[in-house]
Amino acid sequence: MSAVLLSGKQLAQTIREKAHQEARELEADGLRPTLAVVVATDDGSTHWYVRSIERAAGSAGIGCRIVDLGPDATEQVLASVLQDLSGDPSVHGIILQTPLPPGVGTDELVGHIAPEKDVDGANPLSLGRLAVGRPSFAPATARAVIEILDHFDIPLAGRNVVVIGRSAVVGKPLSLLLLERDAAVTVCHSRSGPLEKYTRTADVVVVAAGRTGLLKGSHVLSGAVVIDVGTNVLPDGSLVGDVDEDSVRGIAAALTPVPGGVGSVTTSLLLLHTTEAAREQARTLVPGSAG
Ligand code: NAD
């Protein structure tokens, strides 16, 4: 048996087309949905990723404003830029790209992103709203995992799902989205002990740790579904996930590839969130123009 590969490419394209359609409708009403991406690093892979967002936005008819503050930007400058963008009516979505300059913390800064423009669910207010089931933008990566599971008709209600990783951008919000879908959720992390203690009973394992080869075939049940969120750049420049594909492929029923899995869907969702944010902002600004 070899695991079926759950490619995210077709789903990513479908979501991008939906965002494009939304953008066309908004444009007809005189509004160009626009995403601002704030960058403060000279890290090559970050710039590569930001350019890929810019290209994807362009192909979906969405404006993309890259605000590159350079690797020496101070926390004050970053805070002030985020506040300005939050108040700028021509910007509908804002992402603060990591890594940030040494000594500059993400936690305080993301609080400056207006919740209605927080298309990557970074502001703690967004996570809080998610926790109590109120409308908010979930981090695009967490939502991408759910969209992939839905796309391939993998049931979640009553299923045993293990999430490896508890970060505020992936593991925690994903565990909330899974709970919302009636899964029984276990969250593992660097201090939860041997992975197999949890993963050997899981119907679905989602790994988001940023550790090459962390999840091995011996960790998973025969027939499990494995979603690989990890993105690790090897010394030769190639991109791999957190799953040891060679050993997992023979045991799991299905596995997302890296690249071409969760990441591709994530970018499309950022664009869709931007159009959703633009529509909502237009509706609130002009009462009665729900469109
Ligand atoms: P993070 O470093 O903030 O968090 C990693 C989490 O993994 C932590 O909670 C940690 O406790 C856990 N962990 C680390 N080693 C572990 C181990 N040996 N056993 C169990 N748990 C362990 O990282 P993050 O921002 O959550 O990102 C996780 C991965 O997902 C990274 O590879 C990142 O590049 C990738 N990522 C991908 C996308 C995408 O769109 N595909 C988006 C965001 C992040």
Are 20 and 61 in contact by the 8 Å Cβ rule? The answer is yes
pLDDT over 60 at 73, yes or no: yes
Of all atoms in ligand 1, which is nearest to the CA of residue 140? 40
To which H or E segment does residue 36 belong?
Answer: strand 34-39
Residue 228 domain boundaries? 140-263
* Burial label, 85 (beta-carbon count in 10 A; 0-12, 13-18, 19+): buried
Within a domain: residue 135?
Answer: no
Q: Is the CB of 188 inside a 6 Å radius of any atom of ligand 1?
A: yes
Residue 290 pLDDT level (bands cut at 50, 70, 90): very low
pLDDT in tens, 213-258: 999 999 999 999 999 999 998 999 899 999 999 999 999 999 999 9
Mean pLDDT over 170-193 rounds to: 98
Give the model's pLDDT for residue 289. Answer: 44
pLDDT at 237: 87
pLDDT band at 286 (very low <50, low <70, confident <90, very high): low
Domain match, 155 and 230 both: yes
Does 262 sit in the ligand 1 pocket, CB within 6 Å?
yes
Taking the centre of ligand 1 as the mean of its atom positions, its distance from the CA of residue 173, in whole angstroms, is: 13
- The C-alpha angle 103, 173, 70, rounded to 5 degrees, equals 30
Cβ of 230 closer than 6 Å to ligand 1, yes or no, is: yes
pLDDT digits (tens, 9 = 90+) for 141-168: 999 999 999 999 999 999 999 999 999 9
Residues 159, 217 within the same domain:
yes
Whether 75 maps to a domain, the answer reads: yes
Position 72 in a domain: yes
Question: Distance (Å, rounded) from C-alpha 112 to C-alpha 118?
Answer: 10
Residue 138 has, within 13 A of its CA and on its CB side, a CA count of 25
Residues 209 and 161 in one domain: yes
Task: Answer yes or no: is the C-beta of 256 below 6 A from any ligand 1 atom.
Answer: no
Residue 269 counted as domain residue? no
Q: Is residue 275 part of a domain?
A: no
Q: Determine the distance separating the centroid of ligand 1 and the alpha carbon of 167, expressed in angstroms.
A: 7
pLDDT at 288 over 70: no
pLDDT digits 0-9 by tens, 264-281: 999 999 999 999 999 999
Structural domain count of the chain:
2
Q: What is the model's pLDDT at position 45?
A: 82
CA distance 54 to 149: 27
Residue 17 vs residues 74, 92, 148: alpha-carbon distances, Å: 38, 19, 16
| Ligand 1 pocket residue status of 46, Cβ below 6 Å | no
> Residue 285 has what pLDDT?
74
Q: Would you say residue 287 has pLDDT above 70?
A: no
Q: Has this prediction a pTM greater than 0.75?
A: yes
Amino acid 291: pLDDT: 38
Is there a single domain that holds both residue 217 and residue 156?
A: yes
Q: With a 6 A CB cut-off, is 266 part of the ligand 1 pocket?
A: yes
Name which of 143, 168, 152 is nearest 268 in CA terms: 143
Ligand 1 pocket residue status of 197, Cβ below 6 Å: no
* CATH code, domain carrying 76: 3.40.50.10860
**Is 7 contained in some domain?**
no
194: in domain: yes
> Bridge partners of 207?
164, 228
Ligand 1 atom index nearest CA of 262:
41
82 and 195 share a domain?
no
CATH code, domain carrying 153: 3.40.50.720
pLDDT in tens, 96-143: 999 999 999 999 999 999 999 999 999 999 999 999 999 999 999 999
The CB of 208 under 6 Å from ligand 1? The reply is yes
